[in-house]
Each structure stands twice: as structure tokens, then as C-alpha cells.
């Protein structure tokens, strides 16, 4: 086969009738390059971002010798970056050849720029190249108008939650993850451009909240404008002693697994219970006192969400008369106000109390009637969050002054007891929100009778111990269970079938091993698959668990909460696999599904691809890629396949196919058949559908193949094998891609990854390029159009508008040089274009073609577009227009396409506008209003059916400066298959 040369990469231009992104470049790259002559980058190869006029990729000359610090210093100076722009190192990884890769988050004046990252690549401590997102000086006001509490109320409102429901959701998520993400900083003040380009003017000051809904179980990062309370963005983040032995799995027969012969303790060790001896504000101003606080992450100290930590005495024998417990304490916790408003069964949030045990700590009861008295009768943290029920009393709020407390212990004479000082917090307000909440301090603990002292602790570590009492999973009788600690931080497989909440989940257990019980087959299969996934990433890439830091792999089998019975998901710190309905689906714990979900964790801790639109499709695709690779690893090359989820079907079927995505109605060509329009909100912009493009790329890269794609381009690919293809995909994901990367980025950096691993002219690098062309991301120039004909019909003295989008469907930039109409009197462009116009890789230019007839006849004309594409320097769009009878006024004159009705009234209008539409079937729609320059004034996306009306109050539109102006505006209604456009007039 004669391979096409890819050394000189050229652009591709494609024309689509769709809504896409506009990106002019009025400043030429050569002018920017000329300004670098006296800098460290004078000999560097630079790729420029046309939106920011800053470099997106820098490849240093071989003679350059800059370490990471020198590079960043020179970068700041050479490109005149803002003085307050900071590069904060996020993580560093080392490749198989000793190459280093440092990923930075960008901050401005101490505020993180959300999802804005920069990566340095080094060999022998010398930067060879760098890429990422550099930004100019944000223009937004950095002092928030709203405080965190106010912004949180807006977030609750936008999600339709109250505080009670939000606290429940946060507690549920923390419990399900065994506390691994408890204490995540919430309400962080950030600068975010959301889904807009990372231009300085697009950044907004936001509060970011990690929020969970319970019904259904969903998790989001929610960004709230810190000035207006507007919902800026909502990003889904729910995706979901050791004994070697064997077990019977549901789908893979007998398998090798590792189990435990230990009932895992529910307590955590002292150093994670946060009780410690400290001199800070100690009793009587000297020595040390017991203090319940985290002093590493708070100054001077504080506590976080969902804690349940205790200080427990050794056994004490009570005898004699006038028995009394006394101690001194001070505390500062969440104010109890508001608890009863959300649930009348409670009158406080976070709280503390004192308890006693008569059976060596197996059971405990709250000591009552202290002096001074408890301040609350029923604490939410103990009752609702830690599942103790209503009526648990305790102290809450603040007592800043050291105060003595006493309890009468006369009822416990002649008993041997343990005393516990018990603290619990909920999922809401903590020291993260108010650093004056220092927790609880205790000293001078003493139990006396009439004759003297029976027990004392005056701030020392003898005869008393600290624990965390979070009981994540219910204990169940059985000697052996599906847990192990030989891999990273351990693997735990939990049985969720018998309950609808974490308090009902239990271990899979047996009294003997091997694990051959039919009742445990689902758990055995998932446990084995989790172990195999860990082994795959460790043995193939040297990666220690999904986070490369030994993170515990926690999975829930036979999940049936929140209508997720027929699903599997990754929730940021644990995975869950649905029970299956038993008719179409069995258990969702198949090997490729488990590999898929845990791979979401790998993505979270590397590129962290936003789960939305193209970046979300890539996120899903990488999970499919590694899910398939894990299946081949575990089952062998002769048994594995290129289908996803085929085992879970009761009959024949699969969820997706990497070999033939169209068999499951997914695209195998970028923007081709079955491509899901990403402007729709369904499935987060089609993440599970559009993943088919990279899925098929990976299959072709591994196995090879030939055929013709949806663009009519023939291909023949030389496969490089699964191992090399996986190495390229993994390097791309972990070393190059950024949170908002798109398909053109995946193509660009997979080529770089292949060249890193195998060399610039290697077969692997050439096959990577050929495989991308096979799925519609091109290296060299081809001018293509999806529709060469635009048809118009308009009344005389009026105009009809139709969208035309020009898309650069290659990995290099392209210049549009001319627009020429054969009849410029009756056909024009809106807005008029300043030429030449540069389209960056993957970007597009949206235009309006306007037809304005003078008589009732047929107009047969054309639009000729010239570009820098050397193979197709001109592209002709045929224009067919029909002029019809004269109308008066501007009543609705748009001839709706078959099956859809659209009307607007009144038109012209002054303030109120009613948009009515009728759909033949349910669909996702987007309504937009733009001025004639293309500026967006209004957008609404939602699921719709039948006949509906939307009311718009013009003075309430977000962009009031434009909304106040009279003139002509363009209204569009987009469905999954059609776009209807209507001209409206503001008086």
C-alpha cells in the first residue's frame, strides 16, 4: 500500500447547515512570530490560538535548554502574559523512557481558572515542548457580590433542592465512597469560561459546588455566577489478610480472586480520627488539651463534612457513692438554627454528646441531664446522617469559654464502663465555610466518688483512645468476604441487592472458600473484574489504581436505586453495577463494563475530560477503549471481542460496537451518519453516541481495515496491534489531553503520542493518521460539502434567512479568502465578512445567506467560496430562490417544514413576544434569538412535545444593551432534524 505523506499537514474545509462556533483571527501568525525574535522562543515551532493570539503549542528547537522554571519565566515574559497569572503544579508523571510530564492548573490573582491547564514535556530535565491554554487578563470584577451562602441558595434553586435534600445527597455520596471524597472543598471561588472560548472577556467569577441529588442519584459540579446568582454551568460527574482462592462468576465461569478472612473494622485509626493533644488555647493556658480538629488543612484547626469521631476511655470500675463524671470543654460548631424548618424531628445540625457503655463498647447509650444541659434535643448529624434516628441530644453552636460539665453516674454503681465523647457533622456547613468553627476541646476528665478519684485524664495519651465510628457497610455473619488489600489501597465488592440505602448494604460472605455459592456469582464476577482492571493498568502502564496513587476500588453489585437497575456508573470514587431487569438485561457486572467504569476514574485523574459534548464523548470512548482492552487482557485474545456489554444481554445484543458503531446507531465518521447534535442537552450532548468515532478509530488502528467513510473517502489502514494502539491512547489521555479537548485535539495529540513512543516516520504514527482520516478527521486538504443546494421561498419586499456553516474538519488552520455571489442584488451574507478569515482546527464560521426577491419568479444563482485549500480552492453552493406575492406587514410568513409549525406574535413587537410551535413527535429543541451580527441574545434548550408556547419579555433578556435596541432580529427553532428561521422586528 502506498501511504500518503503526512509531513506537511494541510486543512480541510467542510460546509454544514448547522450551528457552530465562530473564530476570527485578525492578527496574522507571522506578525506574532516576528515579535519573538529576541526571546527564548525565536527558533521554536509555534501553533497559535486565533481567539487569544497566544500559543497553544510550542515545540522548542533542539538547541534550547530550559528547565521547567526557566521555561515558565520566559513564557510569561515573551508572550506578555498577565503579571498575576500563576502556574500551579497539579501532578507530574514519568514515561517509560524517563520523559517527564508536568501538568499545571492556571490561577489568576489566587483564583483558579476552571478547566484551564498547561502541560510541559521534558527529556533529561529539558523542556522539549509544551501545550495547553494560555489566557489574557480576565476582565470580570473579582470581588464577589454574593457570599458563599447566598450562592449556595441559588445552586439549590437551580437544582430544585432544599438544604435538607442537599445534605441527604452529600451524605449518601460520602458513605458510598467509604469517605474517600468526604471533605472535598465546596463553594470554591473560581474564574470560569464555562462552554465559551477561553478569552479574557468570557471568564466569569463563580462559586463551584459539588452537589448530589437523591432521586434520581445524580452528581454535578454546579457553577453559580458570584455576582448575579445565574447558573453558569452544570457538569455531571456521575459516570459510578488476603487469601488467594477461586470463585464461580456469573459470566466467566471459575476465576482466580483474592478474598479476606477479616471482618473489616468500622473504626479508623487514631491518626484519622482527628482527636489529638494540642497546646492551642489549652485549658488554663498551659500544657495540652484534647482537641477534635484537623490542623493540617485548617488554620488553626477545624472539621469537615460527615465526620463521626470519638474519644473513648479504657474500662473504668465504678464503686462507692456520689459517683460523678466531670470535665472542662469548649466548642464551636455549626449554628443549630434552621434545622427544624427543614425537618421538624430535629433541632440542630452538627453536635456533640457524652455516652456510656456497660458491655466493653459493643453498645452505647447517651448520658443525659448534664449540667449545664444539652442545647439540642435531636441532632440531625447523629440521627439522619449517621443513621441513629431521632431524639439524639447534644450540645451545638458555640461555647468559646472553658466550662465545667458534670454528670451524675449513681445509676451505674458497681458497673465496669467506658465513657465516650462523641462528635458528628452532617454534609453541610463546616469549617470550610467558617474557619472560626474550631471543633471541640476537652480537658481535666475525672470520675470521682465520695472517697476519691476513680479515673482521670488531664491532657495525656494514657487510658484513652480516638476512633472514627463511620460504619460504612453493614457487618454480616460469615468468615470470608470479597475484599482484599493486595492491590493498591484495596478492592471491596459490596452487595447492594438487599437494600435501598448504604445502611442496608452488606459484604458478600461465605463461611468457607472457594467462593462457589450461586448467590455470590455476581459479586465474584465483579470482584474478579475489578482485580483484572487493576492488574491491566499496573502491568501495562505501571499505573497504581485509577488515581495512580493506590486508590481503593469500591464497587456495588446489583445496584437497584434510582431507576439505575439497567445501568452501570462511576461516581467519582466508587462504581455501581445494576441488578438488571432479568428480561432484557442480566447483571451489569461484565468484565468490559467493569473495565469501562473504572477507566472513568483514570480519566478523572488525568485529562479529566468534561462530561459534556465532544470532551464527554472522548471521556466515554476512552472508557470503551480500555474496557475492551481489559476484556482482552482478562479473557485472552481468542475470547475477547470488540463489543461493549454483550454479556449482560439475556439474548443476543450489545450496548456499543468498536468494530461497527453503526450497528448500534452510533457514528463511525465525525459529523457523519448518527452523529448526535451536541447543542442538545440529552445525554450531556450525545456522549454515549458520539464516542463511536474514536471507538472506531481505535479498532482500525489496532486491527486495520479498509472501506469508505461517510464523507466518501476511501481508506486502507495497516493495523499496529492492540498493545501499541493502547499505549498511544493511554499516553494521549494521560500526557496531552485537557479537560475541554475536542476530537481535533485527540487526533493531534495521538499523533504526537505515537511519535513519542515509536518515532516520527514509524508505521504506528502513519497508521494513527490514516485511522483518523478513516473516521473523518483529516490531515491534508479536501474541500467537502454536505449539501450543495440551498432553497429559499420569500414574499416580495421581504427576505428569507438560512444558516450556512463552514467547518474546518482537519487538524490544521485554514483561510477563507473570498465570497462571491453570481447575483449580489438578491443574495447577500449576514453578517458581512472581513476577509481573509482564518478557521482554526475544528472551528467553524456561521453565516446567514439572505434571499430578497423583487418579483415573483425563480432565481437560480450560486455562491462561490474561495479558500487556501490547494486541492479544492473553490466551492460552489447552488442557490434556488422563489419570489411570491406581495405581503403587507410582517405577520408570520415562514413556510414551516413538513410536520413542524412555528409562529410568532405579535410581529412587529415592543416588549412581549410569544413563540408558538407544534412538533409531530417529542424532541429536544433549541430556540435562539440573535441580532444580525450573530450575537446571541436568548437561548432555550429543552425537551418538548405537541403544541407549546414560550413567552419572552424583551427587557428581561440577559444582554440588555442589545435587547433595548429596535430593529431586525433572527429567531431560530432547532430540532434534532430541522432548523426553522424567522425574522422578527423590535419596535
Which segment, 359-368, 577-586, 737-746, 905-914, is predicted with the most confidence on average? 737-746
Mean per-residue pLDDT for 181-202?
A: 78
| Dihedrals phi, psi of 950, to nearest 5 degrees | -115, 130
Q: Convert the pLDDT of each residue in 77-108 to its tens digit.
A: 889 899 999 999 988 887 667 788 899 999 99
Q: pLDDT class for 2, splitting at 50, 70, 90?
A: very low
Residue 728's alpha-carbon distances to 261, 538, 759, 777, in angstroms, are 40, 16, 12, 17
- The DSSP result for 443-481, as a single string, is EEEEEEETTEEEEEESS-SSSEEEEE----SB--S-SEE
pLDDT score at 29: 45
Which segment, 187-201, 275-289, 384-398, 905-919, is predicted with the most confidence on average? 275-289
Q: Decide if pLDDT at 710 tops 80.
A: yes
Q: Smallest Cα–Cα separation from 543: which of 93, 89, 117, 90?
A: 93
Higher per-residue confidence, 618 vs 901? 618
pLDDT score at 959: 63
Task: Specify the CATH class of 25-132 in words.
Answer: alpha beta
Same CATH fold assignment for domains 606-776 and 786-886: no
Pick the CATH number of 270-468 from 3.40.50.300, 1.10.10.10, 3.30.1360.30, 2.60.120.260: 2.60.120.260
Q: Convert the pLDDT of each residue in 589-603 to its tens digit.
A: 999 999 999 999 999
Look at strands 188-192 and 111-123 and give their pairing: parallel
Q: pLDDT class for 897, splitting at 50, 70, 90?
A: very low
The set of residues, in sequence order, having a beta carbon less than 8 Å from that of 182 and lying 6+ positions away, is 174, 304, 305, 306, 307
pLDDT score at 265: 38
Beta bridge partners of 132: 118
The set of residues, in sequence order, having a beta carbon less than 8 Å from that of 773 and lying 6+ positions away, is 713, 715, 779
Number of residues in the chain: 987
pLDDT score at 502: 52
Of 323-327, 450-454, 484-488, 698-702, least confident by mean pLDDT is 484-488
Residue 791's alpha-carbon distances to 72, 133, 804, 827, 858, in angstroms, are 53, 41, 12, 12, 11
Mean per-residue pLDDT for 673-681?
A: 82
Among candidate residues 484, 564, 597, 928, the one labeled active-site is 597
* Average pLDDT for the chain: 83
Q: pLDDT class for 478, splitting at 50, 70, 90?
A: low
Q: Convert the pLDDT of each residue in 284-312 to its tens digit.
A: 999 999 999 988 878 899 998 778 899 99
Higher per-residue confidence, 26 vs 242? 242
Q: Decide if pLDDT at 179 tops 70.
A: no
User: Which triple of cell numbers denotes residue 137?
Assistant: 487578563
**Domain ranges in the chain?**
25-132, 148-236, 270-468, 606-776, 786-886, 901-986
Residue 813's alpha-carbon distances to 23, 49, 349, in angstroms, are 11, 10, 57
Percent over 90 (pLDDT), the chain: 40
Q: pLDDT class for 889, splitting at 50, 70, 90?
A: very low
Q: Which residues of 399-410 are buried (b: 16+ CB within 10 A; e: fewer)?
A: beebeebebebe
Pick the CATH number of 786-886 from 3.40.1160.10, 3.60.20.10, 3.40.50.720, 2.60.40.10: 2.60.40.10
Among candidate residues 600, 688, 696, 962, the one labeled active-site is 688
CA geometry: angle 768, 774, 775, nearest 5 deg: 95
Q: Is 688 a catalytic residue?
A: yes
Percent over 70 (pLDDT), the chain: 84
For the chain, the first-to-last Cα distance in angstroms comes to 65
Mean per-residue pLDDT for 174-179?
A: 55
Which segment, 83-92, 507-516, 681-690, 972-981, is predicted with the most confidence on average? 83-92
Domain 606-776 part of CATH 1.10.390.10:
yes
Distance in angstroms (rounded) separating the CA atoms of residues 515 and 493: 13
Helix crossing, 722-731 with 521-541: angle to 10°? 80
pLDDT score at 243: 64
Of 185-194, 521-530, 869-878, least confident by mean pLDDT is 869-878
Give the CATH number of domain 901-986: 2.60.40.3080
pTM value surpassing 0.75:
no
Q: Is 597 a catalytic residue?
A: yes
Mean per-residue pLDDT for 419-442?
A: 90
Q: pLDDT class for 186, splitting at 50, 70, 90?
A: confident
Higher per-residue confidence, 501 vs 521? 521
Distance in angstroms (rounded) separating the CA atoms of residues 521 and 506: 15
Q: Convert the pLDDT of each residue in 507-556 to its tens digit.
A: 888 877 888 888 889 999 999 999 999 999 999 999 999 999 888 898 88
Which segment, 8-12, 234-238, 650-654, is predicted with the most confidence on average? 650-654
Amino acid at each position: 500500500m502506498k501511504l500518503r505523506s503526512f509531513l506537511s499537514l494541510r486543512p480541510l474545509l467542510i460546509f454544514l447547515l448547522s450551528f457552530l462556533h465562530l473564530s476570527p483571527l485578525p492578527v496574522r501568525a507571522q506578525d506574532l512570530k516576528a515579535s519573538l525574535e529576541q526571546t527564548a522562543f525565536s527558533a521554536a515551532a509555534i501553533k497559535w490560538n486565533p481567539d487569544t493570539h497566544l500559543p497553544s503549542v510550542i515545540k522548542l528547537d533542539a538547541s534550547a535548554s530550559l528547565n521547567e522554571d526557566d521555561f515558565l519565566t520566559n513564557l510569561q515574559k515573551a508572550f506578555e502574559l498577565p503579571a498575576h497569572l500563576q502556574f500551579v503544579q497539579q501532578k507530574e508523571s514519568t514515561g517509560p523512557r524517563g520523559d517527564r510530564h508536568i501538568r499545571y492548573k492556571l490561577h489568576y490573582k489566587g483564583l483558579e481558572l476552571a478547566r484551564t491547564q498547561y502541560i510541559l514535556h521534558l527529556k533529561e530535565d529539558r523542556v522539549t515542548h509544551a501545550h495547553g491554554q494560555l489566557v489574557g487578563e480576565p476582565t470580570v470584577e473579582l470581588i464577589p457580590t454574593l457570599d458563599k451562602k447566598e450562592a449556595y441558595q441559588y445552586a439549590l434553586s437551580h437544582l430544585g433542592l432544599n438544604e435538607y435534600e442537599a445534605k441527604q445527597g452529600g451524605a449518601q455520596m460520602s458513605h458510598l465512597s467509604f469517605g474517600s471524597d468526604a471533605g472535598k472543598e465546596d463553594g470554591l471561588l473560581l474564574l470560569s469560561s464555562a462552554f465559551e472560548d477561553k478569552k479574557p472577556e468570557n471568564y466569569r467569577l463563580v462559586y463551584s459546588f459539588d452537589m448530589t441529588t437523591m432521586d434520581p442519584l445524580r452528581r454535578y459540579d454546579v457553577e453559580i455566577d458570584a455576582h448575579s446568582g445565574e447558573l453558569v454551568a452544570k457538569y455531571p460527574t456521575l459516570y459510578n489478610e488476603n487469601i488467594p482462592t477461586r470463585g464461580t462468576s456469573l459470566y466467566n465461569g471459575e476465576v482466580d480472586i483474592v478474598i479476606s478472612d477479616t471482618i473489616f473494622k468500622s473504626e479508623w485509626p487514631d491518626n484519622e480520627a482527628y482527636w489529638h493533644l494540642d497546646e492551642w488555647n489549652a485549658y488554663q493556658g498551659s500544657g495540652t488539651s484534647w482537641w477534635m480538629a484537623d490542623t493540617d488543612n485548617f488554620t488553626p484547626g477545624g472539621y469537615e463534612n460527615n465526620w463521626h469521631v470519638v474519644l473513648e476511655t479504657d474500662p473504668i470500675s465504678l464503686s462507692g457513692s456520689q459517683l460523678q463524671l466531670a470535665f472542662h470543654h469548649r466548642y464551636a460548631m455549626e449554628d443549630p438554627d434552621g434545622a427544624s424548618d427543614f425537618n421538624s424531628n430535629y433541632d440542630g445540625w452538627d453536635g456533640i454528646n457524652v455516652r456510656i457503655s456497660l458491655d466493653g463498647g459493643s453498645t452505647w447509650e447517651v448520658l443525659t441531664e448534664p449540667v449545664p444541659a444539652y442545647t439540642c434535643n435531636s441532632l440531625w448529624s447523629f440521627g439522619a446522617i449517621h443513621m441513629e434516628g431521632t431524639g439524639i441530644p447534644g450540645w451545638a453552636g458555640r461555647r468559646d469559654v472553658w466550662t465545667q460539665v458534670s454528670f451524675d453516674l449513681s445509676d451505674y454503681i458497681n458497673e465496669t464502663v467506658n465513657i465516650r465523647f462523641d462528635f458528628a457533622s452532617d454534609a453541610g456547613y463546616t469549617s470550610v465555610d467558617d474557619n472560626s468553627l474550631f471543633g471541640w476541646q476537652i480537658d481535666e476528665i475525672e470520675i470521682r466518688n465520695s472517697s476519691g478519684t476513680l479515673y482521670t485524664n488531664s491532657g495525656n495519651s494514657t487510658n484513652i483512645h480516638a476512633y472514627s465510628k463511620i460504619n460504612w457497610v453493614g457487618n454480616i455473619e460469615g468468615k470470608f468476604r470479597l475484599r482484599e488489600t493486595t492491590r493498591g489501597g484495596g478492592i471491596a465488592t459490596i452487595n447492594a441487592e438487599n437494600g435501598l440505602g448504604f445502611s442496608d448494604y452488606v459484604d458478600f460472605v461465605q463461611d468457607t472458600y472457594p467462593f462457589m455459592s450461586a448467590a455470590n456469582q455476581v459479586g465474584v464476577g465483579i470482584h474478579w473484574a475489578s482485580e483484572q482492571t487493576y492488574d491491566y493498568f499496573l502491568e501495562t502502564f505501571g499505573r497504581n489504581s485509577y488515581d495512580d496513587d493506590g486508590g481503593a476500588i469500591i464497587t456495588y453489585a446489583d445496584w437497584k436505586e434510582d431507576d439505575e437497575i439497567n445501568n452501570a456508573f462511576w461516581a467519582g470514587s466508587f462504581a455501581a453495577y445494576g441488578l438488571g431487569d432479568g428480561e432484557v438485561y442480566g447483571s451489569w457486572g461484565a468484565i468490559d463494563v467493569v473495565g469501562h467504569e473504572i477507566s472513568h476514574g483514570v480519566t478523572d485523574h488525568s485529562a479529566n475530560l468534561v462530561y459534556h459534548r465532544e470532551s464527554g464523548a472522548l471521556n466515554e470512548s476512552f472508557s470503551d477503549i480500555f474496557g475492551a482492552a481489559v476484556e482482552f487482557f482478562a479473557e485472552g485474545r481468542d475470547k475477547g471481542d470488540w463489543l461493549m456489554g454483550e454479556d449482560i444481554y439475556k439474548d443476543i445484543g450489545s450496548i456499543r460496537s468498536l468494530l461497527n458503531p453503526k450497528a448500534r446507531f452510533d457514528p463511525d465518521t465525525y459529523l457523519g451518519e448518527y452523529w448526535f447534535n451536541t447543542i442538545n442537552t440529552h445525554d450531556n450532548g450525545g456522549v454515549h453516541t458520539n464516542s463511536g468515532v474514536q471507538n472506531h478509530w481505535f479498532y482500525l488502528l489496532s486491527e486495520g481495515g479498509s472501506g469508505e467513510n461517510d464523507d466518501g473517502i476511501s481508506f486502507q489502514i495497516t493495523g499496529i496491534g492492540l498493545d501499541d494502539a493502547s499505549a498511544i491512547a493511554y499516553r494521549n489521555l494521560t500526557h496531552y489531553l485537557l479537560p475541554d479537548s475536542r476530537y481535533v485535539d485527540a487526533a493531534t495529540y495521538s499523533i504526537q503520542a505515537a511519535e513519542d513512543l515509536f518515532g516520527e516516520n514509524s508505521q504506528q504514527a502513519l497508521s494513527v493518521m490514516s485511522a483518523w482520516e478513516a473516521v473523518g478527521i483529516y490531515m491534508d486538504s479536501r474541500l467537502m460539502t454536505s449539501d450543495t443546494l440551498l432553497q429559499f421561498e420569500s414574499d416580495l419586499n421581504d427576505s428569507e434567512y438560512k444558516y450556512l456553516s463552514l467547518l474546518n474538519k482537519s487538524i490544521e488552520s485554514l483561510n477563507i479568502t473570498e465570497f462571491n455571489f453570481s447575483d449580489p442584488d438578491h443574495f447577500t451574507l449576514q453578517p458581512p465578512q472581513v476577509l481573509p478569515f482564518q478557521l482554526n482546527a475544528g472551528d467553524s464560521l456561521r453565516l446567514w445567506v439572505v434571499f430578497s426577491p423583487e418579483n415573483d419568479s425563480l432565481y437560480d444563482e450560486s455562491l462561490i467560496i474561495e479558500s487556501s485549500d490547494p486541492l479544492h480552492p473553490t466551492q460552489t453552493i447552488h442557490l434556488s430562490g422563489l419570489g411570491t406575492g406581495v405581503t403587507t406587514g410582517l405577520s408570520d410568513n415562514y413556510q414551516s417544514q413538513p410536520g413542524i409549525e412555528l409562529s410568532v406574535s405579535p410581529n412587529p413587537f415592543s416588549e412581549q413576544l410569544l413563540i408558538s410551535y407544534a412538533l409531530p413527535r417529542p424532541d429536544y429543541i433549541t430556540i435562539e434569538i440573535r441580532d444580525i451580527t450573530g450575537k446571541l441574545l436568548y437561548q432555550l434548550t429543552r425537551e418538548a412535545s405537541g403544541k407549546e408556547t414560550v413567552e419572552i419579555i424583551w427587557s428581561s433578556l440577559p444582554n440588555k444593551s442589545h435587547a433595548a435596541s429596535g430593529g431586525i432580529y433572527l429567531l431560530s427553532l432547532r430540532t434534532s432534524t430541522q432548523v426553522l428561521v424567522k425574522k422578527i422586528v423590535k419596535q
